[in-house]
Amino acid sequence: KPGEQKHPKEPPSLQCMHLAVVACGDRLEETLIMLKSAVLFSSRRLCFHIFAEDSLKPEFETKLKEWPSSYTKKFESNIYPITFSVGNAQEWKKLFKPCAAQRLFLPVILKDVDSLLYVDTDVLFLRPIDDIWQLLREFNSTQLAAMAPEHEMPKIGWYSRFARHPYYGSTGLNSGVMLMNLTRIRSTRFKNSLIPGGLTWEEMLYPLYQKYKNYITWGDQDLLNIIFYFNPECLYVFPCQWNYRPDHCMYGSNCRGAEEEGVSILHGNRGVYHDDKQPTFKALYEVIRDFPFEDNLFQSLYYPLQSRFLDTVHTLCGRIPQVFLKQIEKTMKKVYENRVIVYLGANHKY
């Protein structure tokens, strides 16, 4: 319109928080529950990048469309085939768990995305993604990725006892939750044990795998540990409550951050959502899975969780329910406060 001021549009890659996941085999349900937990609590718009086998693509599309419009308007989703830009695709696909190595190629594939949060399928968000997204601002000038330690205690950590390859720090890193500045990753030359002058991320992946493939146990996670062993200045280490796993409570509570603030991101590795070894983790998964989207969060999510946790007190994880509930309770209060403010604002008469 004449006289109307024009504002430049924000680049698409900056309009939302980007979340990536890789799903192969029987991981459809797990991935959908993870995405559901992301949408339930987050306030800013989300962009999902789902890397999946061809057979799973139509199922993802159908299931996501079934969600109520009040939630589908909070995100957009893109589904990609499994692809590897260098080396032998079949070798990469079979490395550790099916397709897990796909995460190593995200900086190469998602060329228009500036920053990204990658998570494994067995992750649940117990607070808004907005909060972990804010950690990108805490990166210093050399940091380009963030992960949590594999363990809090070197004496009983896997890497410190068994690893036959270089790894980051005293306990190694767990790559199930990985925050990345992809722009920095693409523009950095990484120190390595192959070429003195440094290599780009893409140049480094296959030669590094070839050199260490007979020594690695945990596939792509081990390769990431090797990369950040040689480039420690590139890593921001976030505390254990951002990647809370059974190891943090099954032998006694050893994640101080979760004790103080509550669990922010739950990582149910070891298949604990689907067996009875850690019923506290299974209870969280099933309550979020069964929560009807538009129901009352306190009534249909928080109170059922409290009830389910009463049946888990025979386990060490079950004896610290406040660790699992603290952030959920805080998040739900925020959600309701925001709704009340919006409602009052819309109905306020001057």
Residue 342's pLDDT is 55
Residue 79's pLDDT is 97
CB 192, CB 179: distance < 8 Å: no
Angle between helices 279-290 and 321-347 (to 10 degrees): 20
Residue 6's pLDDT is 38
Map out the domains of the chain as residue ranges.
17-238, 241-348
Mean pLDDT of residues grouped by 10 in the chain (350 residues)? 39 75 94 97 95 95 96 95 79 72 92 96 96 96 96 76 82 94 96 87 90 84 93 96 96 93 96 96 97 91 95 95 94 77 54
Q: Where are the beta strands (DSSP E) in the chain?
A: 17-23, 46-52, 75-80, 115-119, 123-125, 145-149, 173-181, 235-237, 265-267
Residue 341's pLDDT is 61
Residue 98's pLDDT is 64
Question: Would you tell me which CATH number, out of the four given (3.90.550.10, 3.30.1490.20, 3.30.530.20, 3.40.190.90), belongs to the domain 17-238?
Answer: 3.90.550.10
Residue 315's pLDDT is 95
Looking at the DSSP bridge assignments, the partners of residue 47 are 18, 76
What is the Cα 280 distance to its own chain's centre?
20
Residue 15's pLDDT is 78
Residue 169's pLDDT is 86
What is the Cα 96 distance to its own chain's centre?
18
Residue 213's pLDDT is 85
Spatial CA neighbour of 133 closest among 146, 122, 117: 117
